Each structure stands twice: as C-alpha cells, then as structure tokens.
Chains A and B, each alone.
Chain A
C-alpha cells in the first residue's frame, strides 16, 4: 500500500456493517428474549469512518466473568512507568485505575535544600522530555520574587530554545503514537527529524536531554553560528517534511480508523478535570499560556493557537502536529529578529530573595507547568510546587477507560503524552 493512497476495500474488514445494522440486529436477536440492548450512538460532532462501529453491547448474553488485568509498569505502550489495573469483560474495559509512583524521587523535597539557581537542574529531571520549558517556569518564579530584569536577548533565546525543545518533544510523542496504532515507519522518520533539534540543543547547551540552560536572570549560552545554520537549513525543508509526515500518518485510513471517535473528551469534562495544553485545545477550549499569559518574549511573536472541536484521539494528535508548524514560525521569527545585547542580568553569586510567594506558569509541551515558590528570605526556597499537567491528564484517562476496547485504551492513553517523571516527581 502506497503512502497516502487509499487502501483497497478488501483491507478494511468490517466489524459490523453499518448500513444495514438495524436488520443485522434483528437477525441476531431472532429467538432471543432480550430486545432491550441498544448500541450507543457516537457523540454528536464525531464522524466515525464507515464500517468501523463495534458491537457496542451484549446482544447474545455473551458477557463473561470480569477479571483484573495488570498493564505495566514496563509495558512499552505506557510511555514510562504507568501501571493500570483494568477490570475487563472479555476485551472490553469496565473500569481502570492508575497506579503511579514508580518514578517518585522527592523532587519537591529536594528543592527545599537547593539554592535558586540549582532548581533548573532538578526540574529537568521532572519533565525529562521538554526540560527548557520547565526550567523557564522555575526561572520566572525566582525572577518574580527577586524582581530581576532579564535582558531581551536572553528572553528571545529562551523562547527560541523552548520552541526547539517543544518540537523535539512533539516528535518524540507522535512517532510512538504511530507505533501504538500500528504504524511502524513514522517512528523512524520522526526520530530522524527529532535528532536535528536535539543536535541544536546540544550545540547550545552542551547536553542532549538535561539542559540546565535557563537560569534566573540569564541563559547559559548564546546562539552559535552552527545552531543557527542547522535551524535555517531545517526551516527551508521543514514545511515540506511536515506535509510528508502528515500524508504518511494522518492521511492513512488505518490510522484514522484507530483514532477517530476513540476516547472522546467533552469540553465540560476537560475543564472539570483540569486539562491544559493540547488536551484542552482538542476539546474546543481556546487557551494557551503563551498567548493569554505571555511570558518572556511571547507577546512579540505572531503565531496561532490551534484548536479542534472533536476531543477524540485523532484531534489531540493533529492539534499537536499543527503546533509544530506554529513552533517553526516562532523559530523563524526568533532567528530573524533576535535583539543584540547581553544574555546575563547582573546577579549576586548567591541569590537571596525577599520573603513571599510567586508562581511562574509556562506552556510546556504537555500543558501548563506552574512552579510555585515560597521564600522566607534565605537562599533556598521553603517550598517548591511543580504543577504536573499530565497528572491531571491521568485523571481524565481514568474516566475515559470504561467501555473502551483494550486496544483502543492503549491508543487513548498514548494520546495524553504522559511523562512519568513529572507525574511522580
């Protein structure tokens, strides 16, 4: 089957033919005295591809004894260290409960024994896939407390590196989403593209994963010519490559069958369960911290906030895929308009901040990260709170699991992009 082309009809074996479903139901029910079952209709606004409806209830009284199924913590599809206990009826999930804590390292407690410029090292270990953004949150909170003015060039560099890191993180997620839904190739292509952005991060920060780049009042490195060349080279081919990725994964009918109409999250539930980031935007709520609470230099860039209305897995994935394009736009504007000047504010060697509280919120790759600091006037925070966006997504996953098929649950949980470093901290 060629990439982007429609598969032949024979490949799509119907589970239940949709068109004459009513007559089929009558056939199946003939002779049985249980006419009360009804197949739940797909929610309004969701277009389910033809011939993909599953048998939704129990027409022939085939339900079995429920059993418990343990998934994880080392199952590859759990993207980290998630353990889920599922109550199953055959292949259908009746209820699910997440067990977390395998990666708990007490980062919030350790932060109470670190100086303010050392917080970046710790929060890197919390969200180990998009470290720059969470470092920025820690730096913002400290700067609010200490009333530090950050030089414009440092602010622009933070935005540039945050977007580079966001793209690397999104690629790291969309590839395995393909694996979860049965597409092998896209993972390799995504890793190839991600490697370039990791190279840029390595060139700028000296590290490939734990960057330790954004500090209170400054960043640790200026834009190097090689990093700029790498980014400019990618910007030339970037949009074309995005089109290829789009065709090879999202245009595939098989991927659409696996993701459309699966794991539908309504806007009310998204708000009620504290969703942020792509989970909120895919359910139709238009909120992005970068635009609505601009920090650093984000008020000077021209970019769009991507939203969808369906709230299913497909919308969550495509919503984030479009964010990559917006990140590329921001990177281009950063490179074109980078202001000259210093990248460091004047700072004492040991930072002592006045007593008080401050909260720095940023749009991380997974949603809103907030670092809340309590200070008592010493050189160390009294309390650091890291708001993990995917902890709240985990609550959403628990309510979406019931009545899903097991294979759909793997795709559904993947669409939240859990990062257990930050759920457990």
Chain B
C-alpha cells in the first residue's frame, strides 16, 4: 500500500467514525519512516481506536511507543502496524514538560509497560493507567532522557 493510498484510507476511516467532526491532523509521507501523522495529544486515543476498529485498514498492533525530548516539548511516537496491508503508520503528538499523559492502554494493551517507562523517563504524569508506577528506576530519580538531565561522560564534559 503506497503512502498516497494510505493517506486517503485514513481520511476516509476517520470521517466515517462519527466520533467527532473536528479532526485536527496532518499527514506527511517521510522517506525513511513512511506515513507520519501528527495530531494533538487529546485526539490520540480516538484516532488509535478508530484506526484499530476500521474494517479496511485494521491497524491491529501497536508495535512501539516512545518519547523524545525535542526542546521545550516531549514528542510521543506511536508505531501502528496493519498486518492485512503489511504497512506501518507513525503517529506523533506533543506534550509539554511535566505534562499529563493519558494512557491508551485500554485501546492497545501493548502500551501498558512502555507508557510507564515513557512517563518516568520524561517526567510526565500518567493518567488512566491500571498500574501507574515507575518501571525501570526507583522513586526520586530525575527524568533521565530529558536533555536537561546531564550524565557525566568524558564526551559531555570535554565536548
């Protein structure tokens, strides 16, 4: 399935859900990543749910969920996979530092563990999760993957 067709299918799928009329997303085709969809964080769960239930696209797997510090904002990336069309879709949203992250665990259960990691590593607050604890580190550790948290390597000190 080429990027143009996928873009059309996604637009059709979202229009026919009837959940809301004010979808606010933009879709680009990236050379390396394939189709990338950017949307506000409030609509992520609705879009994931709609794409999963869509009978044509069938994005049944959430392959990966992670964050990245892009200076002043945390960018959260979801990678969905449709086995029927053998295609991946990247969905990105942005959250402020120390923002609130709404769990998508009851849409895709695979998000449950990576969400805990995401929130502890970037200092986000996890909402709507069945077990909202830290995953890898203990209480009191700083959000490690933020750029403001320094590690003391030779490279960092000497450039």
Chain A residues packing against B (C-beta within 8 Å): 97, 100-101, 104, 106, 108-110, 113-114, 144-145, 269, 271-274, 276, 285, 287, 292-293, 356-359, 368, 370, 372, 374, 382-383, 385, 387, 391-392, 394-395, 399, 424-425
From the candidates A269, A358, A392, name the one contacting B113 in the complex (CB within 8 A).
A392
Q: Assuming A97-B131, A356-B32, A383-B69, is B112 touching A113 (CB within 8 A)?
A: no
Please give me the residue from chain A that is nearest to B156 by CB atom: A113
Cβ of B151 under 8 Å from chain A: yes
Q: How large is the interface on B (under 10, 10 to 19, 20 to 34, 35 or more residues)?
A: 35 or more
Inter-chain contact A101/B135, CB cutoff 8 Å: yes
Q: Are B137 and A357 in contact (CB under 8 A)?
A: no
B60 and A271 within 8 A (CB): yes
CA distance A285 to B137 in the complex (A): 34
B24 at the interface (CB under 8 A from A): no
B128 CB-CB contact with A under 8 Å = no
Nearest Cβ distance between residue B2 and chain A, in whole angstroms? 15
Q: Is the CB of A145 within 8 A of B32?
A: yes
> Which of B31, B109, B149, B151 contacts A395, CB < 8 Å?
B109
Confirm or deny: B114 has a beta carbon within 8 angstroms of a beta carbon on chain A.
Answer: yes
Do B64 and A101 have beta carbons less than 8 Å apart? Answer: no
What's the count of A-B pairs with C-beta under 8 Å?
92
The 4 tightest CB contacts between A and B, nearest first, are A274-B110, A358-B32, A101-B136, A383-B68
Given contacts A97-B131, A113-B156, contact A104 B136 (CB under 8 A): yes
Interface residues of B in 95-117 (CB under 8 A from A): 108-110, 112-114, 117
Answer whether A391 and B151 are a contact pair too, CB < 8 Å, given A370-B63, A383-B69: no
Is the CB–CB distance between A113 and B136 below 8 Å?
no
**Chain A neighbourhood of B126, CB < 8 A:** none
Chain A residue numbers with a CB within 8 Å of B8 are none
B151 x A274 contact (CB < 8 A): no
Within the assembled complex, what's the spacing in Å between the Cα atoms of A139 and B64? 19
Instruction: Knowing A110-B153, A113-B153 are in contact, say whether A274-B136 is a contact too (CB < 8 A).
Output: no
Which residue, B32, B108, B145, has most C-beta atoms of chain A within 10 A? B32
Additional pairs, 19, CB under 8 Å, beyond known A292-B86, A358-B32 = A101-B137, A109-B149, A113-B151, A113-B153, A271-B83, A272-B110, A274-B62, A274-B108, A285-B83, A287-B83, A293-B86, A356-B30, A357-B30, A357-B33, A370-B64, A372-B66, A374-B70, A385-B66, A395-B113
Q: Does B23 contact A (CB under 8 A)?
A: no
Residue of B nearest to A269 (CB): B109
Q: Can you list 21 contacts pairing A with B, beta carbon distance less than 8 Å?
A: A100-B136, A104-B137, A108-B145, A109-B149, A114-B155, A272-B108, A274-B63, A274-B109, A276-B63, A292-B86, A357-B32, A359-B79, A370-B64, A372-B66, A374-B68, A383-B68, A385-B64, A385-B68, A387-B63, A387-B64, A392-B113
> Taking the nearest CB of chain A, how far is it from the CB of B56, in angstroms?
17
Closest chain-A Cβ to B100's Cβ sits at a distance in Å of: 22
Question: Quick one: which of A104, A292, A385 has the most chain B CB within 10 A?
Answer: A385
Which chain A residue shows the least CB distance to B52? A272
Contacts of B149 in A (CB 8 A): 109
Residues of A near B109 (CB, < 8 A) are 269, 272-274, 395, 399
B77 at interface, CB cutoff 8 A? yes
* Cα separation A276 to B109 with both chains bound (whole Å): 14
Tell me the complex Cα distance, A357–B144, Å.
21
A274 touches B68 (CB 8 A): no
| Residues of chain B with a CB closer than 8 A to A399's CB | 109
A285 to B109, CA, bound (A): 18
Chain A contacts of B131 at CB under 8 A? 97
CB-defined interface of B121-159 with A at 8 Å, one 1/0 digit per residue? 000000000010001111000001100010101011000
A125 CB, min distance to chain B CBs, angstroms: 15
CA distance A109 to B69 in the complex (A): 11
For A382, the chain B residues whose CB sits under 8 A away are: 68
Interface centre among A97, A113, A292 (most CB of B within 10 A): A113
**Which of A106, A285, A287, A425 gathers most chain B CB within 10 Å?**
A106
| B113:A394 contact, CB within 8 angstroms | yes
